[in-house]
Amino acid sequence: MSSYFRVTLVRSAIGLPRRSSDVLKALGLKKRMATVFHPVSPSVAGQIMKVKELVQVQEVDRSLTKQEVHLERKPDPGYYIERTSVAEFKENTSA
């Protein structure tokens, strides 16, 4: 079973040499807090080491979809809906 690098761009490459921004572009990182997944390989590890100060790296078992990454980052709303007002209205009118 193969594993993946989960690479998240934490710091911007503004003001850094072009070589650093080119490495980020090669990794597929354009915006801050963007996350990409790459299979574990020596070439990808070398690219990550070139920009290690800018990225956060984790080794994960599988690559997540864009929607799964979004839902993972989405904060807890702080409340739960027990019953909608439409359901409550139907209960009151049918009784």
The continuous run of DSSP H or E covering 6 comes out as strand 4-9
Give the tens place of pLDDT for each residue, 5-53: 999 999 999 999 999 999 999 999 999 999 999 999 999 999 999 999 9
Q: How many domains does the chain have?
A: 1
Q: Helix, strand, coil proportions of the chain in percent (round to 5)? A: 40, 20, 45
User: What's the confidence (pLDDT) of residue 91?
Assistant: 81
Q: pLDDT band at residue 85, thresholds of 50, 70 and 90?
A: confident
Q: What is the domain extent for residue 48?
A: 4-94
Higher per-residue confidence, 7 vs 89? 7
User: What's the confidence (pLDDT) of residue 76?
Assistant: 82
Question: What is the CATH classification number for the domain harbouring 25?
Answer: 3.30.1390.20
Half-sphere exposure of 20 (CA within 13 A, CB side): 13
* Residue 28 CB partners (closer than 8 Å, separation 6+): 36
CA–CA gap between residue 13 and residue 1 (Å, rounded): 34
User: What's the confidence (pLDDT) of residue 75?
Assistant: 83
